[in-house]
Structure 1
Amino acid sequence: MTDLPITKPTILGVAKHFSKAYDSYNQHATAQYVICQHLITKILPYLPSRQLDTVLEIGCGTGNLSKLLFENLRIDSIFLNDLYDKITKNLPNPHGKTHHIIGDVLAVALPHHLNLVTASSSLQWIDDVAQLYQKIHTHMASGGILAFSDFLPNNLHEIKSLTGRGLDYRSTDEQISLLNQAGFKLLHTSTSTQTLYFNDPMAVLHHLKLTGTTATNSGFIWNKTNLHAFKTAYQERFGVHTADGTWQYPLSYHASYFIAQK
């Protein structure tokens, strides 16, 4: 099952899928939450203080990273950004002010003198991250920290190898080059891998839908024929026969982490 037509997701398409998945996201996005946990542990050693004046989180979604920021830092003003207005229901900053910036981060106005800019599992939806890094650099305070997680080119490789569909994730070397070009000093980079297991290939697709990741399937409609072909190919190529006699089907998340300073 290969060579399906690929249509790049639009901003409106991404917003629609993640807004629709807002209520189911936290229950099913276990890999993304672990990535948030990894990211916060990598951020803390590079901060000069646990008390910060102004913080921006890009693509805050349901607020998983925000909660970890609130648990570990005292923030006077946090600016939460995403494409849809359901983020206004997220947990507010318990230590200070909460501001919401709805819209494409490349197009909206950002605050100045940012001490910390974070993003977890969201920058892959942005086409021109070079422009984003330059914009962030302009709005940061001297010595400010940019800390984010991204996904590597082999992320969700099971899906892409069978369907030919998926985002073109950036390599670590590409990210480092873009950060350097924007004027940032790289402080840290690392990677992690998580593999989730499901009882059926259809459960893999259901998981992706409930976490909004079907935004990668813009312009493509599943039907009985291609669903059957997908299920058969997934079973044949990726099925794992367990010791108790059952079959499990893996889905692999490959994340990268970056800490950079202005």
Structure 2
Amino acid sequence: MNDAAASSTAAVGEDVLVTTDGGVMVVTINRPAAKNAVTLAVARGIADALDELDARDDLSVGIVTGAGGTFCAGMDLKGFLAGELPYAGGRGFAGIAERPSDKPLIAAIEGYALAGGCEVALACDLIVAGRGARLGIPEVKRGLVAAAGGLMRLSERIPPNVAMELALTGDFLGAERAHQLGLVNRLADDGDALAGAHELALAIAANGPLAVRASKRIMVTSPSWPAEERWTRQQQIVDGVFASEDAQEGPTAFAEKRPPVWRGR
């Protein structure tokens, strides 16, 4: 929404930091000494942050990133060996893999996004990465399986044969190549991924919030709709948007040559 949202900073526990400003929430995994490996506390913190993002009308977009120059090295294996499962909030692994936010999410990647860390990025809608970043699902190298969405989502985002190679070899994918394949939306200089993600987030947040949310919902869910129901199901989603105050405000602002003032209703 165009009304500037109040900025705030909060810790959802020491391992997850949350800031909000200008309609954008930034969720930072804050375990740099452990390469931001995901623990149960991290999963709960991310799940709580996404619950807040979905609930707040003044927030339009979320960014997920990692502290200390690394996005996320995956599941904390020490915790796993001790019997800890980092699933939370009905959202699955890392509090995001099975049920991301209803609102757009951008992964801002520096350094490594590996195993579960890559799956966290794949749970986001868009990716901005530093040129030196590396992504991958190397679980097979540890006798494990990328079961937090990597095997399902990766082949939807890049050519299936390339995804198959990455899944079976466990090899990494550089950010430059990931950008060429369409997995990474925007490249940034190393150290500037979060700034690039914030620029992208503000471009999204400038638009009608109801329209943005409906657009994401249609794009995410429509591939599974039966062909004969696609137009009906889409109409059920867009009817509320076209009947909203925002749908009147957008064209009015255009005609009056001024920025729209979105109300989210």
TM-score range, shorter chain: under 0.3
Instruction: Identify the structure with the greater strand proportion.
Output: 1
